[in-house]
């Protein structure tokens, strides 16, 4: 069932988001950054991580479990390692500063490693590796998150969906941009289905009693299943070890729920790695080799049902190009939630729609 109500331009949707965050107590520059990041997710077709999350983020600010104006601090540990304290602010802000720091370290040392603690949910993980790609760097981004999936053999939430992202810049061809959760499906997509009253396919989640379900609301209150069974659960565990245990952030089930727990800040952990692409070959040779790799991959014989071979990140980039031209689709429910959020902060955004 198509629940799309309207197509909204990129600029108009960014303006709406910026106004709502400014009225929610964020500094103007910070509000603009987060607004662009959320709309970037909508542009790439990841609507579960886009502007539909604005009411939830602002509610956490009102509940005082997110600091609207954080004093983010960066501590250099070695010539190639830094630690960022997010001061319980929006994770987008700590994430971008951390990747900037990783890139700066990599300029000097060839590789930069930056840990982050006292952060919160940082949105679409692709944001940070795209940031590195645009600067010409190879990168990886790790994060932990609130419990969403069980350890292999368990039935209660313990590990986060914890998306992993990686990026490799290209020359003339498309860069490699991977962004994937450790679950069969991103938990945010289940939340969106629950909001719309839509079912989800079987095999994605268990309800709170550990029973397989296609009811999105029960699934969101239960546990998501890891992709690849034990392999996905093991990778989710690695994400918690690197982003949580290593950085000094919360870990092992202690990250507070983004949706249901307003008792205290989340203390999410992230880990960013930036690598200079000219460490072993020249930049020109690296670019040529990347272009050759992409050409070789795309020229391979195609499996039945496939007209084209795409590099990770290419489908989302094509969606972004189309939505920039045509507009970003928003459902009635999302539009209504943004209008209601404006009313809460005494700003009328209905005229934008």
The pLDDT tens digits of the residues spanning 280-321 come to 999 999 999 999 999 999 999 999 999 999 999 999 999 999
Tell me the CATH number for domain 69-183+226-299: 3.30.1370.60
- When pLDDT is averaged across residues 43-69 and rounded to a whole number, the result is 97
Helices (H), the chain: 10-23, 28-43, 54-62, 91-109, 126-135, 187-196, 216-221, 230-240, 283-298, 314-326, 332-344
| pTM recorded for the entire structure | 0.92
Bigger pLDDT: 325 or 218? Answer: 325
Mean pLDDT of the chain: 94
Task: Domain ranges for the chain, please list them.
Answer: 1-62+314-353, 69-183+226-299
- When pLDDT is averaged across residues 209-228 and rounded to a whole number, the result is 86
pLDDT at 3: 59
Is 333 a residue whose pLDDT tops 70?
A: yes
4: helix, strand or coil: strand
CA 307, 309, 312, 317: dihedral to nearest 10 degrees? -50
Domain at 1-62+314-353: CATH architecture:
Orthogonal Bundle (1.10)
The CA distance from 126 to 334, in Å, is 22
| Tokens 């987060």, located at residue | 34
The pLDDT-based confidence of 1 (bands split at 50, 70, 90) is very low
Listed range (82-91, 143-152, 203-212, 282-291) with the worst mean pLDDT: 203-212
State phi, psi for 328 to the nearest 5 degrees: -100, 125
Is 26 a residue whose pLDDT tops 50?
A: yes
Is 136 a residue whose pLDDT tops 70?
A: yes
Whether residue 316 contacts residue 46, with contact meaning beta carbons closer than 8 Å, is answered with yes
Question: At CB < 8 A and 24+ separation, what contacts does 23-26 make?
Answer: 23/342, 23/345, 23/346, 23/347, 24/57, 24/58, 24/61, 24/62, 24/68, 24/345, 25/61, 25/68, 25/69, 26/61, 26/68, 26/69, 26/90
Radius of gyration of the chain (CA): 20
As to burial, measured by CB atoms within 10 angstroms (0-12 exposed, 13-18 middle, 19+ buried), residue 186 is buried
Whether residue 279 contacts residue 136, with contact meaning beta carbons closer than 8 Å, is answered with no
The CA distance from 88 to 71, in Å, is 9
The pLDDT tens digits of the residues spanning 268-279 come to 999 999 999 999
pLDDT at 2: 46
Instruction: Sort residue 304 into left (φ over 0), alpha (ψ -120 to 50) or beta.
Output: beta
The pLDDT-based confidence of 4 (bands split at 50, 70, 90) is low
State phi, psi for 173 to the nearest 5 degrees: -90, 180
Q: In the beta sheet, which residues pair with residue 82?
A: 76, 114
The CA distance from 250 to 253, in Å, is 8
* Full 3-state SS string of 163-212: CEEEEECCCCCCCEEEEECCECCCHHHHHHHHHHCCECCCCCEECCCCCE
272: helix, strand or coil: strand
């Amino acid at each position: 069932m198509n629940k799309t109500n309207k197509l909204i331009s990129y600029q108009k949707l960014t303006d709406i988001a910026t106004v709502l965050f400014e009225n929610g107590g964020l500094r103007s520059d910070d509000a603009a950054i987060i607004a662009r990041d959320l709309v970037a997710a909508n542009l790439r077709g990841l609507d579960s991580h886009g502007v539909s999350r604005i009411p939830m983020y602002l509610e956490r600010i009102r509940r005082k479990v997110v600091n609207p104006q954080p004093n983010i601090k960066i501590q250099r540990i070695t010539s190639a390692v830094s630690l960022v304290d997010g001061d319980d602010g929006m994770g987008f802000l700590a994430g971008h500063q951390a990747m900037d720091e990783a890139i700066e370290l990599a300029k000097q040392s060839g590789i930069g490693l930056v840990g982050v603690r006292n952060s919160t949910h940082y949105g679409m993980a692709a944001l940070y590796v795209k940031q590195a790609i645009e600067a010409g760097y190879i990168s990886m981004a790790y994060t932990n998150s609130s419990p969403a999936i069980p350890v292999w053999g368990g039935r209660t939430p313990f590990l986060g969906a914890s998306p992993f992202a990686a990026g490799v810049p290209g020359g003339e061809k498309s860069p490699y941009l991977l962004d994937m959760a450790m679950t069969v499906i991103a938990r945010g997509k289940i939340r969106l289905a629950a909001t719309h009253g839509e079912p989800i396919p079987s095999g994605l989640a268990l309800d709170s009693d550990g029973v397989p379900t296609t009811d999105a609301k029960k699934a969101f209150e239960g546990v998501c299943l890891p992709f690849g069974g034990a392999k996905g659960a093991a990778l989710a565990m690695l994400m918690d070890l690197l982003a949580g245990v290593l950085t000094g952030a919360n870990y092992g089930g202690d990250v507070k729920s983004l949706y249901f727990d307003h008792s205290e800040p989340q203390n999410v952990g992230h880990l960013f790695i930036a690598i200079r692409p000219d460490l072993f070959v020249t930049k020109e040779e690296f670019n040529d080799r990347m272009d050759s790799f992409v050409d070789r991959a795309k020229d391979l014989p195609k499996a039945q049902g496939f007209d084209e071979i795409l590099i990770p990140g290419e489908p989302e980039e094509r969606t972004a190009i189309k939505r920039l031209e045509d507009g970003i689709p928003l459902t009635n429910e999302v539009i209504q939630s943004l209008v209601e959020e404006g009313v809460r902060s005494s700003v009328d955004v209905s005229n934008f729609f």
